[in-house]
Structure 1
Amino acid sequence: MSKVILVTGAGRGLGTDIAREALAAGHQVVATGRRPEEVEKTLGGPQDDLLVTKLDVTSLEDAEAAAQAAVDRFGRIDVLINNAGNFFAGYFEEITPAQMRQQIETNLFGPMNVTRAVLPILRKQRAGHIITLSSSAGLIGQEFCVAYAASKFGVEGWMESLRYDVEPYGIRTTVVEPGFFRTELLVDASTTWPEPTIDDYAERTTATVAAWKSMSGRQSGDPVKLAKALLTIAGQAEPPLRFVAGADAIEGVEAKARELLAQAQASRELGGNLAYDDATA
């Protein structure tokens, strides 16, 4: 069944794959990006089922304009795929406060802006589906990922709680945790690499930047397969609340779940007896 799908960050990487696969499957696509001319060029020019429009996710005004343009063109929005994001790599002390804020502004407040613009349309329809790309780093802290993980952990809490807000209006939510996919996240256009600024970190920073850069283009995950999987989820009557994507991510999340359970059990003796003792109060 054809749906109207709004995709953020459609100018390159996974966003382009999602838009292409959605068009190939017969959906109507609103493909957005900061540079719409590049989005249109990447997707092959004007098409009847394609609307390309400008959207910088850090701008609520852009988000509202894109949502209105989608309704003006196609009459509705069925699926929002919050895909746009970037990556500030580095150790915490070498990431400036401004960079940390910019990371969270894009990766957390960005999808919040677009969702805020789309939700009135979905509520009016009493139907819709919000899919937001998080990361395995949204569930599992990793070295050199402190800013990125902070933003994605925020995405996890927001999306897990948003479900309860919007479910009464027929709106579904799915948060997606991909592992390593051969997208363009690690290219210089998407990643801000740190310069060594603190002697204690300098050797580790230099080595880790080199290791991460060497991984770009060699990740095991196929983004086209991920795009198709997301469209499968978008077509389900009861989509999952969480979709862990990639064998590496599944293995990592399973390990994290075991770790959390062990930590909860280890906390039981000291942490499980902290209530008021009403008998002696």
Structure 2
Amino acid sequence: MKTWFITGCSSGIGEGIAKAILASGDRAIVTARDSSKLESFVKEYPHTAVALSLDLNQQTSIIHAVEEGTKLFGGIDVLVNNAGYSYRGAVEEAEIQEVDKLFQTNFFGPIELIKRILPQMRRKQSGAIINLSSISAIKGIVGSGYYAAAKSALDSISEVLAMETEPLGIKVMTVEPGAIRTRFNDTSLKESAVFIDDYKETAAKSRKENLVNPNNQIGDPNKVGQVIVDLIEKTDYPRKILLGSDAVSFALETYQERLEEVEKWKTISLQTDYE
């Protein structure tokens, strides 16, 4: 029986992951900023679920959640960094204090959790870390540049972490989902208070007032959760996995564009070597 520590479990993918974990018989430390939203997990699984409050913008909250979860279940075997939100606005429009919060939640908070939990895994020479990224890390979307930057940072550091920890018996997997049918575009979307009219035909089109959540996204958060739980149990697991047919199509198209650009400019690229 493994003990999982999951962030952002009050809805969406985090909720789907927690459901799959608990249904499998494993233990789950489910977290959210408001732990009262997680009571249903504890009621259904009183012996294997614990709900804790966690604010990734507060180091004291991170420390307390890890220490409390470790004390209750004796250790943490799998960390799932799922919590996150998006921020809309042109690059020029962004308010630096809001960008700081975005990176704290989507990047620095997860890194702090990794650093707090990794010592346990190193001692046991086993464990797994699952980082929820986005297809935005493959190619940014106009108006969401800072979100793409945060997820790209998480993607890159996950690749390095995987190479560093694999010899220690610790798995690292990055998940890049496409559009999932969640409340992400409703409750997990912030935007810049600054508006520059010159961006009305580009970045402005992704602002909240110009978006309607059709709630018909192809991705099922419960299936996402089950796939993640199943994958990490495998000996042959992916270090990086796309989830959703839209994610696969998006990635293939983007990588093809990049290969074509490399070929187009290759002769110039090769001109910078010493003779």
Which residue in the other structure is 1:86 paired with?
A: 85
Partner Cα separation in structure 2 for residue 200 and residue 44 of structure 1? 52
Which residue in the other structure is 2:14 paired with?
A: 15
Which residue in the other structure is 1:264 paired with?
A: 262
One-letter code of the match for 2:242? V
Is 1:221 the counterpart of 2:223? The answer is: no
- TM-score with structure 2 length normalisation? 0.92
Residues 258 and 206 (structure 1), Cα distance of their counterparts in 2 relative to 1, 3 Å cut: closer
Is 1:126 the counterpart of 2:125? The answer is: yes
Higher RCO, Cα 8 Å, sep 6+: 2
Residues 207 and 157 (structure 1), Cα distance of their counterparts in 2 relative to 1, 3 Å cut: closer
Q: CA deviation at 1:114?
A: 1.0
Which residue in the other structure is 1:95 paired with?
A: 94
Q: CA deviation at 1:131?
A: 0.4
Which residue in the other structure is 2:248 paired with?
A: 250
Which residue in the other structure is 1:198 paired with?
A: 196
Q: CA deviation at 1:46?
A: 6.6
Partner Cα separation in structure 1 for residue 212 and residue 192 of structure 2? 16
One-letter code of the match for 1:122? M
One-letter code of the match for 1:190? S
- TM-score with structure 1 length normalisation? 0.90
Cα offsets for 1:65-106 (capped at 9, x unmatched): 222222222222221110000111122222212222221121
Residues 210 and 239 (structure 1), Cα distance of their counterparts in 2 relative to 1, 3 Å cut: same
Q: CA deviation at 1:202?
A: 3.8
Partner Cα separation in structure 1 for residue 97 and residue 72 of structure 2? 38
Cα offsets for 1:140-191 (capped at 9, x unmatched): 121111111011111111111111221121101000100000122111x311
Conservation of the 8 A alpha-carbon contact between 2:180 and 2:221: yes
RMSD of aligned Cα (Å): 2.0
One-letter code of the match for 1:224? N
**Alignment gaps of 5+ in structure 1:** none
Cα offsets for 1:104-139 (capped at 9, x unmatched): 121111211111111011111100110000000011
Residues 201 and 273 (structure 1), Cα distance of their counterparts in 2 relative to 1, 3 Å cut: closer
Identity of aligned residues (%): 28
One-letter code of the match for 1:272? L
Q: CA deviation at 1:238?
A: 2.8
**Alignment gaps of 5+ in structure 2:** none
Secondary structure, counterpart of 1:273 in structure 2 = helix
Conservation of the 8 A alpha-carbon contact between 1:6 and 1:31: yes
Conservation of the 8 A alpha-carbon contact between 1:16 and 1:42: no
Segment drifting more, 64-73 vs 148-157: 64-73
Segment drifting more, 13-22 vs 220-229: 13-22
Partner Cα separation in structure 1 for residue 67 and residue 59 of structure 2? 12
Cα offsets for 1:182-239 (capped at 9, x unmatched): 122111x311134562222246566433686313522121111101111111211232
Conservation of the 8 A alpha-carbon contact between 2:134 and 2:151: yes
Conservation of the 8 A alpha-carbon contact between 1:57 and 1:111: yes
Secondary structure, counterpart of 1:85 in structure 2 = coil
Partner Cα separation in structure 2 for residue 206 and residue 272 of structure 1? 39
Conservation of the 8 A alpha-carbon contact between 1:13 and 1:183: yes
Partner Cα separation in structure 1 for residue 129 and residue 152 of structure 2? 17
